[in-house]
């Protein structure tokens, strides 16, 4: 009898959609939204809106898309967002946003690898700080970020509203180049 093999996992920066990538990314995002963790979306939008959203992400010059694959199928993503050029005072700080993994692909370490890939890209682009924020109810994400050394610096008491309930949110940062880098 043959043993079940572990699934193949991969994380990469995606500059263009190939094959079924766009469809798979839409499917994964819809699954995550239905499970209650949809980076802002509370209900899955019509497919053409979702497709336009992802195509838009690839077109925005200040954004990079990172995806995770389980057995070659895209199952989640995150984005690195750089500050706009006019924001010279915050040109040392980038944002990690829209991080999710479809429920069926969780627990394989993909979210962690995606965050590390975003950090690496931000570091390589010369950023000293990575900022992110998360709903206070997203316990897995909070655990993930805190285990990777993100520091919670603030709580917003009215961060999101879900089904009429206003929820707090947590704000985090991580110094990418060591403790003193941000004070240069
Ligand atoms: C948060 C999320 C992205 C994690 O995805 P994942 O691929 O399952 O995470 P990983 O397998 O990479 O886990 C890495 C670490 O995250 C934490 N973690 C992941 N799932 C967890 C859970 N259910 N409970 C507690 N901690 C969890 C752990 O610290 C874990 O490390 P460990 O396995 O060494 O204990 C996923 O649960 C998700 O999409 N949630 C909804 C969307 C969301 O909250 N996004 C964040 C918005 S900023």
114-153 per-position pLDDT tens digit: 999 999 999 999 999 999 999 999 999 999 999 999 999 9
How many structural domains comprise the chain? 1
pLDDT at 4 (0 to 100): 82
Q: Is the pLDDT of residue 40 over 90?
A: no
Q: What angle do CA 172, 177, 182 make, to 5 degrees?
A: 65
In a domain, 2, yes or no: no
In a domain, 32, yes or no: yes
Full-model pTM: 0.95
Pocket test residue of 34, 98, 106 for ligand 1, highest count of atoms within 8 A of CB: 106
Q: Is the pLDDT of residue 181 over 60?
A: no
Ligand 1, pocket residues at CB < 6 Å: 32, 37, 99-101, 106-112, 132, 134, 138-141, 143-144, 147
Distance 158 CA to ligand 1 centre (A): 23
Pocket test residue of 144, 149, 170 for ligand 1, highest count of atoms within 8 A of CB: 144
In a domain, 1, yes or no: no
Instruction: Enter the DSSP assignment of 160.
Output: E
Q: Which residues contact 77 (CB under 8 A, 6 or more apart)?
A: 14, 25, 28, 29, 65, 66, 67, 68, 98, 99, 100, 114
Pocket test residue of 35, 40, 115, 141 for ligand 1, highest count of atoms within 8 A of CB: 141
**Confidence bin at 107 (pLDDT 50/70/90):** very high
In a domain, 4, yes or no: no
In a domain, 86, yes or no: yes
pLDDT at 180 (0 to 100): 56
Q: Rounded distance, CA 99 to CA 96, Å?
A: 8
Quote the domain boundaries for residue 102.
Answer: 9-183
Q: Residue 114 is part of a domain; what is its CATH number?
A: 3.40.630.30
| pLDDT (mean) for 57-62 | 97
List pLDDT tens digits, range 81-96: 999 999 999 999 999 9
Q: Rounded distance, CA 151 to CA 65, Å?
A: 24
List pLDDT tens digits, range 70-81: 999 999 999 999
Q: What does the mean pLDDT of the chain come to? A: 94
pLDDT at 65 (0 to 100): 98
pLDDT at 2 (0 to 100): 59
| Ligand 1 nearest atom to the CA of residue 39, by list position | 47
pLDDT at 15 (0 to 100): 97
Structure tokens at 91: 């040109």
In a domain, 129, yes or no: yes
In a domain, 84, yes or no: yes
In a domain, 95, yes or no: yes
3-state SS class at 149: coil
Rounded to the nearest angstrom, the gap between the alpha carbon of residue 104 and the centroid of all alpha carbons in its chain is 17
**Whether 176 contacts 128, CB under 8 Å:** yes
Distance 36 CA to ligand 1 centre (A): 14
């Amino acid at each position: 009898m043959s043993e079940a093999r572990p699934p193949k996992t991969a994380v990469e920066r995606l500059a263009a959609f190939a094959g079924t990538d766009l469809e798979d990314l839409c499917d994964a995002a819809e699954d995550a939204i239905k499970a209650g963790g949809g980076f802002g979306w509370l209900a899955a939008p019509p497919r053409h809106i979702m497709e336009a959203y992802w195509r838009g992400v690839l077109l925005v010059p200040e954004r990079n898309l990172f995806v995770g694959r389980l057995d070659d199928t895209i199952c989640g993503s995150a984005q690195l967002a750089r500050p706009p050029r006019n924001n010279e005072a915050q040109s040392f700080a980038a944002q990690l946003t829209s991080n999710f993994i479809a429920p069926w692909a969780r627990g394989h370490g993909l979210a962690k690898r995606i965050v590390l890939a975003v950090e690496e890209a931000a570091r390589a682009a010369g950023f000293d700080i990575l900022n992110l924020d998360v709903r206070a109810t997203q316990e897995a994400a909070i655990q993930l970020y805190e285990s990777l050394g993100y520091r919670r610096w603030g709580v917003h008491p009215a961060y999101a509203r879900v089904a009429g309930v206003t929820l707090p949110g947590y704000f985090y940062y991580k110094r990418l180049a060591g403790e003193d880098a941000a004070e240069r």
